[in-house]
Amino acid sequence: MSPPWRTGLRGSHPGAFEAAHALRDGSLSNARIEDTGEIYDLVVVGGGLSGLASAHFFRKYAGPESTVLIVENHDDFGGHAKRNAFNIDGHELVLNGGTLEIESPQRYNQWAEMVLADIGVDLTAYRRENIPMKDLYEKMGLKSALFFNHEVWNHDSLMRADKVPGEECWRYLSPSSLSTSPLSDKVRQGLIRLVSQKQPDYLASHGLAEKKSILSKISYLDYLIKIAKIDPDAARVFQKAGSGVFCVGADALPALFAWVMGYPGFSGLGLGNIPEGLLSDLQGGQHGRQKESEKTVHFPDGNATLARLLVAHLVPDATSAQTQDDMGVAEFRYENLDKAGQKIRIRLNTLAVSVTHDGTPEAAGTVSVLCAQAGDATPQKIHHVRGRQVVMACWNMIIPYLIPELPTPQKEALAYGTKGPIVYVNVALKNWQSFRKLGVSEINCPGMFFESIELAEPVSLGRLHAPENPDHPVVIRMIRTFGMPGLSKRDQHRAGRSALLATTFEQFEQEIRSQLQRVLEPGGFDEKRDIAAITVNRWPHGYAYTYNSLYEPADWVFTETSSRPCVTARQPFGRIAIANSDAAASPHTDAAFEQAHRAVIELLERQTFPMVSSMPGASTL
């Protein structure tokens, strides 16, 4: 069974990281090193989108005869851009196991646009293909909803979005919908005030610039309770605000970010439109570019389609599929990814454990890369390959362990960004009649183990068709983040990662079945009868760390200053360059592509290598 079809515990799955922990713990000293004799023009450490794009750019500028080895610790390529596939009663279904979307493609940088064009991505054609699916759930009368669980609100109650003409609302909150909630009158009135366009100016004594400064330094939760003065029971509705983006909730979300992201409570402040310029254009975590006029685009399996297109172009023997539409149902021959004699090879289940220059960084002609089986906690044998140049497209935090000769300030900067832990659970159901009967397509559950339950977005690609009939199988998505209120964002990520790694698949399955039964049972759902398969995508090192104005200097958040740790961290070192989303302090795909381009350009500008095509200048980011 090829990796996308495997269910159970996926993402950072068992067998993908044990050697990394051995490296961290210093227990590799007894392993025997075996020289394979392999020398490549480029070795890429990490087979995610940034690593695949690095190979693409290198071949584009160095020529098709250049040789590249990509080593990837997981059993599939794509890094966080994973595909989960299911076949339920003859229906082929897919969903993203990580990276979901091409966000605001109108703002993509030129190098990201170049990648999409080179591999044949046609967003216009894709949008046109999915016009018939547009607003499918809305046409069926399915809406968003909020589930009040008894542990927090004393009753289990599903509140479906509802409103009468002319009524003000925000998503599932309106006077009509709140009238059916188990909330007190005081809490209801606070929420109704919060979604109104006629709120008072809670910061009336301050000027516009000062208001934004205040909002950048106070959490959304504190803003709601201390400034907007809503009841804490009302604020709990928003306790997971921003968590799907930042892996922390409203306690660590700057109120300014909440305003930019469209959360309620700001209509009376006179803040104007979401600004253009840096707040909209930076790659960082403020997500200022998410505007109603700039819709995101996503394939059925998220950005796994981009990874699959890149691999199809890098290693043509891996699949007969080549076009965007082909990727819908394409199968890959994984045994062909790492065949002797190929110009580009992708070596899965392989973890780099040491990357060192063969000589001084200034004079060395090659770099030695030592690799172990990723799942081996006590490796007895390590393979030695060499690259004339190396791109580190793995996580920043592991790089100091791999390259201990780096300058101390750079190692400290590499260790600064703590990636956000997150879990995407994809559950294949035999039908989705319970959603139809309840009249919902997505359910927010801020007080429960999983903060959201939603039907997969109805999109098709080529011969892969989205489910349209509630009698047919579908995949639903459940998301859990691991915020730990009371700690800083970085400390929340660290504590959350420990909690995630301590949670077994069996515990996840129990929580999945229990929560779905509680929430969907009024629609006739039976977890024993209706669940066909479960895939838990565990990402203890998930999203790239983004700077946060509650904890870091404002210029780190809102400007491109070179004082940011990510800039210090990504500096080239001899024949080694660094490319990954961490290098941009941004989890966005276009950031990963841009950093790949920068890294390749840095290497080719610093080293002697024959060019066969014109090479654009390096990005300044």
Q: Residue 25 has what pLDDT?
A: 73
Please check whether residues 175 and 257 belong to one and the same domain: yes
More confident: 528 or 280: 528
Please check whether residues 249 and 317 belong to one and the same domain: no
Instruction: Please tell me the distance from the alpha carbon of residue 200 to that of residue 230, in angstroms, as a whole number.
Output: 13
Residue 457 lies in a domain: no
Of 146-160, 273-287, 539-553, the least confident: 273-287
Q: What are phi and psi of 342, to 5 degrees?
A: -75, 145
On the question of pLDDT at 365 being above 80, the answer is yes
Q: Residue 619 has what pLDDT?
A: 41
Please check whether residues 264 and 339 belong to one and the same domain: no
On the question of pLDDT at 313 being above 80, the answer is yes
Please check whether residues 336 and 388 belong to one and the same domain: yes
Q: Residue 24 has what pLDDT?
A: 77
Q: Is 533 left (phi over 0), alpha (psi -120 to 50) or beta?
A: beta
Which of 467, 473, 470, 454 is closest to 515 using CA atoms?
A: 454
On the question of pLDDT at 282 being above 70, the answer is no
Instruction: Please tell me the distance from the alpha carbon of residue 233 to that of residue 230, in angstroms, as a whole number.
Output: 8
Residue 8 lies in a domain: no
Q: Residue 475 has what pLDDT?
A: 98
Q: Residue 278 has what pLDDT?
A: 40
| Domain end (from 227, 248, 281) | 281
Q: Residue 563 has what pLDDT?
A: 94
Please check whether residues 183 and 244 belong to one and the same domain: yes
Please check whether residues 321 and 239 belong to one and the same domain: no
Instruction: Please tell me the distance from the alpha carbon of residue 58 to that of residue 55, in angstroms, as a whole number.
Output: 5
Q: Residue 286 has what pLDDT?
A: 40
Q: What are phi and psi of 574, to 5 degrees?
A: 60, -120
On the question of pLDDT at 289 being above 70, the answer is no
Instruction: Please tell me the distance from the alpha carbon of residue 444 to that of residue 144, in angstroms, as a whole number.
Output: 8
Tokens of 15: 């067998």
On the question of pLDDT at 150 being above 70, the answer is yes
On the question of pLDDT at 392 being above 80, the answer is yes
Instruction: Please tell me the distance from the alpha carbon of residue 244 to that of residue 147, in angstroms, as a whole number.
Output: 17
On the question of pLDDT at 441 being above 60, the answer is yes
Which of 158, 130, 54 is closest to 435 using CA atoms?
A: 158
Residue 614 lies in a domain: no
What is the 8-class DSSP label of residue 42?
E
On the question of pLDDT at 318 being above 50, the answer is yes
Tokens of 441: 């397509």
| Domain end (from 223, 253, 281) | 281
Range 400-404 contact pairs with CB under 8 angstroms and sequence separation of 24 or more: 401/23, 401/24, 402/23, 402/45, 402/352, 402/353, 402/354, 402/355, 403/355, 403/356, 403/573, 403/576
Q: Which domain holds residue 275?
A: 170-281
Mean pLDDT over 112-141 rounds to 95
Please check whether residues 304 and 275 belong to one and the same domain: no
Please check whether residues 181 and 239 belong to one and the same domain: yes
Q: Residue 274 has what pLDDT?
A: 67
On the question of pLDDT at 30 being above 80, the answer is no
Q: Residue 288 has what pLDDT?
A: 44
Q: Which residues contact 22 (CB under 8 A, 6 or more apart)?
A: 28, 372, 376, 377, 378, 379
Please check whether residues 272 and 330 belong to one and the same domain: no
Which of 22, 49, 17 is closest to 9 using CA atoms?
A: 17
Rg, the chain, Cα only: 25
On the question of pLDDT at 558 being above 90, the answer is no
Q: Domains in the chain: how many in total?
A: 2
Instruction: Please tell me the distance from the alpha carbon of residue 186 to that of residue 151, in angstroms, as a whole number.
Output: 20
* pLDDT tier at 376, thresholds 50, 70, 90: confident
Residues, the chain: 621
**What CATH number should be reported for the domain holding residue 395?**
3.50.50.60
Please check whether residues 264 and 199 belong to one and the same domain: yes
Q: How far is CA 534 from the centre of its chain?
A: 20
Give tens-digit pLDDT for 412-421.
Answer: 999 999 999 9
Please check whether residues 258 and 183 belong to one and the same domain: yes
Structural contact between residues 438 and 147, judged by C-beta atoms closer than 8 angstroms:
no
Q: Residue 285 has what pLDDT?
A: 39
Mean pLDDT over 82-104 rounds to 94
Residue 459 lies in a domain: no
Mean pLDDT of the chain: 91
Which of 434, 442, 431, 427 is closest to 137 using CA atoms?
A: 442
Q: Which residues contact 134 (CB under 8 A, 6 or more apart)?
A: none
Q: Residue 15 has what pLDDT?
A: 76
Please check whether residues 308 and 272 belong to one and the same domain: no
pTM over cut 0.85: yes
Which of 57, 2, 593 is closest to 344 using CA atoms?
A: 57
Q: What are phi and psi of 596, to 5 degrees?
A: -65, -45
Residue 424 lies in a domain: no
Structural contact between residues 61 and 604, judged by C-beta atoms closer than 8 angstroms:
yes
Structural contact between residues 421 and 541, judged by C-beta atoms closer than 8 angstroms:
yes
Q: Which residues contact 229 (CB under 8 A, 6 or more apart)?
A: 202
Residue 201 lies in a domain: yes
Residue 315 lies in a domain: yes
On the question of pLDDT at 22 being above 80, the answer is no
Residue 102 lies in a domain: no
Q: Residue 374 has what pLDDT?
A: 78
